[in-house]
Amino acid sequence: MSSSRSIVVSVVAMLFAIAAGTIGFMFSEQLTFFDALWLTVVTILTVGYGDTVPQTFYGKMFALIIIPVGISIVTYATGAVASMMMEGEFSKTVRRRKMKKKVETMRNHIIVCGYGRVGEQVVRELVKNGTPVVVIERNTDWLEEMDDPLPCVEGDATEDDVLIAAGIERAAGLIAALPSDADNVFIALTAKGINRDIQVVARAERTESEEKLRRAGADKVINPSFLGGRRMAMTMLKPVSVDYVDTIFHDHAEQYAIEEITIEPHSPFVETSVRDQAVRTRFGVTIIAIQRQNDIIGNPMPEERFYVGDVIIVFGEKRALDAFEQAVNKK
């Protein structure tokens, strides 16, 4: 039994003993309610002021019963409190309550189910990009090692109550990163059942599970084994290209990035072309592709025009990307 549960049990037992003792002394000693309550409390807590003592035979017999019961309960409660303090259970309980309140205030966050070897990398990237994250994990011992603990919900991500506690109704997206494909299928299905508009990205360990995850509601399915194997092959076949990509995206400076910028109705880019805006010359960024509804226009030509709702996929230095995004949706 956990320390917190032991304390709850001891408190309930003490209240029961006080109630039983009060009633017993009221009848055996013919005391008022308050006097009987006073005698019960000082007896159970072994204070013994001596101002009120049992006078009748039945009162003394009842006291012989209530005294060892009270001592046992007090000793048990003291041990539970000491255990909680020694195990750090009290601080953990306080931290969980603070974390619960923090999660309840979060909106448009990303829920990451599973903080294993894949989930940890997912969380690291999201945090690095300033995205609010809530982690669902059965074992939250890793929180002890963090200077600034992430918002976390302890439990099974396949359960509705746990997803709701993580704020799935207010979340913008969910990443199912558990090692079990069956669990990820269930999570995707449950998530879409609670919030049909949430964006779901799921991990798949087996190729045959990818279609099942899509049918369950996953918007995107990622197979780490497939990507890892392909990466290893490309490293062997085209090492210079792979090293260059690593230098761009994984160096410590983190100077370059890829951004997705949506064309809003008020954007000055609407109905203009790539050539008209002189994107490369003015901003020093490169448009890799334009997503228009369900179509992807890769390496767009200078004559390609921008329309409301287009998503521009652009590459460049972070400062240049920020300037470009401000220019695209300048009001």
Q: In this structure, is the dihedral angle defined by the CA atoms of residues 84, 89, 91 and 93, taken in order, positive or negative? A: negative
123-132 tens-digit pLDDT: 988 988 889 9
Instruction: Kindly report the backbone phi and psi dihedral angles of residue 46, in degrees, each rounded to the nearest multiple of 5, phi listed first.
Output: 55, 35
pLDDT of 109 higher than 90:
yes
Q: What is the structure's pLDDT at 310?
A: 93
pLDDT of 148 higher than 70:
no
Q: What is the structure's pLDDT at 55?
A: 82
Q: How many CA atoms lie within 13 A of 312 on its CB side?
A: 28
| CATH topology (fold) of 3-87 | Helix Hairpins (1.10.287)
Long-range contacts of 161-164 (CB under 8 A, 24+ apart): 162/136, 163/111, 163/136, 163/187, 163/190, 163/191, 163/194, 164/194
- Please list the alpha-helical segments (H only) found in the chain: 3-29, 33-44, 57-87, 89-105, 117-128, 160-165, 181-194, 210-216, 224-237, 239-250, 274-277, 279-283, 318-328
As annotated, the residues of the chain forming the CATH 3.30.70.1450 domain(s) are: 255-328
Which helix or strand (DSSP H or E) is residue 259 part of?
strand 256-262
229, with CB counted inside 10 A (0-12, 13-18, 19+), is exposed
CA 304 to chain centre: 42
As annotated, the residues of the chain forming the CATH 3.40.50.720 domain(s) are: 106-222
pLDDT of 234 higher than 70:
yes
> For residue 110, which of 154, 50, 166, 48 has the smallest C-alpha distance?
166
Which helix or strand (DSSP H or E) is residue 10 part of?
helix 3-29
Provide the mean pLDDT of the chain.
85
**The CATH number of domain 255-328, selected from 2.30.30.90, 3.40.50.2020, 3.30.70.1450, 3.40.462.40:** 3.30.70.1450
250-286 tens-digit pLDDT: 654 557 788 899 999 999 999 999 999 998 899 999 9
pLDDT band, residue 66 (cuts 50/70/90): confident
| CATH topology (fold) of 106-222 | Rossmann fold (3.40.50)
What is the full DSSP assignment across 146-167? -SSPPPEEES-TTSHHHHHHTT
As annotated, the residues of the chain forming the CATH 1.10.287.70 domain(s) are: 3-87
150-197 tens-digit pLDDT: 888 889 999 999 999 999 999 999 999 999 999 999 999 999 999 999
Amino acid in position 238: K
Q: What is the structure's pLDDT at 250?
A: 61
Task: Give me the residues paired with residue 221 across strands.
Answer: 202
pLDDT band, residue 147 (cuts 50/70/90): low
Residue 299: both structure tokens together: 């390496």
Identify the weakest region by mean pLDDT among 8-12, 221-225, 303-307.
8-12
pTM: 0.63
- Residues 143, 135 contacting (CB under 8 angstroms): no
Q: What is the structure's pLDDT at 25?
A: 83
